Amino acid sequence: MGAVKTKRMPRAVREQQMLDAAVQTFGQRGYMAASMDEIAELAGVSKPLVYLYLNSKDDLFTACIRREATALTEAVRGGVDPSLPADRQLWEGLGAFFTHTARNPDGWSVLHLQARTHGERFAAEVAAMREELVAFVTQLILAGAREAHHDPDLPEREVAGLAEALVGAAESLAAWANATPGVTARQAAATLMNFAWAGLGDLMAGSPWTPPEEPETQAG
């Protein structure tokens, strides 16, 4: 179990092993139920070394949050082509989001569940990342409105609320997609895109939002 016991490796490498073990353990057991003993064993090192490098359980958890938050935001930003129209950007961003969370369930659990349930300090850490995502979505909404050149009367707070709702729906669907067998990241993205862009009213009237054909692998 755990990493193979290879001795004497450079600090940076060891640290990553520890963070890997920590994310896995925190994600599966929860912050409080995860013991430093278990993390150290899973990382294949002795407990004092974990303390030497990461300082304390608190700091270790914070490091996990930061690493996973960065990874997630980079995945989303990296998945989006800023030259496309707003709805296409949203569609791509959602796809990247669902793909990343599906591939890193422990990291997502750390961010979405653990970090928000164990003290303001950690919650603030994720909140920062979340605000980045919300801001990104907010920009998309405003850009979309501009593109519709309707200069729609969307007040500041209203847009903030919409972005918040969209991100919240995405987070919720991520868990649903992970838990429902047969639902892919792409399908989750499509469902949410429909919901968010077309709205229930249009959907019921038979006017869904139409996803582009095979956007990722397409030539043009």
**Residue of the chain from 19, 22, 45, 173 that contacts DNA (CB under 7 A):** 45
Residues 39-58 that bind a copy of itself (CB under 8 A): none
Site string for a copy of itself, 145-174 (x = CB under 8 A): x-xx-x-xxx--xx--xx-xxxxxxxxxx-
Among 9, 128, 154, 205, binds DNA (CB under 7 A): 9
Please select the residue that binds a copy of itself; options are 32, 124, 128, 135, rule is CB under 8 A.
32
Give the C-alpha separation, 139 to 193, whole Å: 16
Report residue 16 CA to chain centroid gap.
20
CB of 88 to a copy of itself, least distance (A): 13
Query: Which range binds DNA by CB under 7 A, 39-47, 127-135, 138-146, 195-203?
Result: 39-47
Asked if 48 touches DNA (CB under 7 A), the answer is yes
| The three-state (H, E, C) secondary structure of the chain, written as one string | CCCCCCCCCCHHHHHHHHHHHHHHHHHHHCCCCCCHHHHHHHHCCCHHHHHHHHCCHHHHHHHHHHHHHHHHHHHHHHCCCCCCCHHHHHHHHHHHHHHHHHHCHHHHHHHHHHCCCCCHHHHHHHHHHHHHHHHHHHHHHHHHHHHCCCCCCCCHHHHHHHHHHHHHHHHHHHHHHHHCCCCCHHHHHHHHHHHHHHHHHHHHCCCCCCCCCCCCCCCC
In whole angstroms, give the CA distance from residue 160 to residue 136: 11
114 binds, among a copy of itself, DNA, none (CB under 5 to 8 A by kind): a copy of itself
Q: Among residues 52 and 205, whose Cβ is nearest to DNA?
A: 52
Query: Restricting to residues 17-36, which ones interact with DNA according to CB under 7 A?
Result: 32, 34-36
Which residues of this chain interact with DNA, rule CB under 7 A?
5, 7-11, 14, 32, 34-37, 45-49, 51-52, 56-58
Which residues of this chain interact with a copy of itself, rule CB under 8 A?
30-33, 87, 113-114, 116-119, 141, 144-145, 147-148, 150, 152-154, 157-158, 161-162, 164-173, 175-176, 183, 187-188, 191-192, 194-206, 209
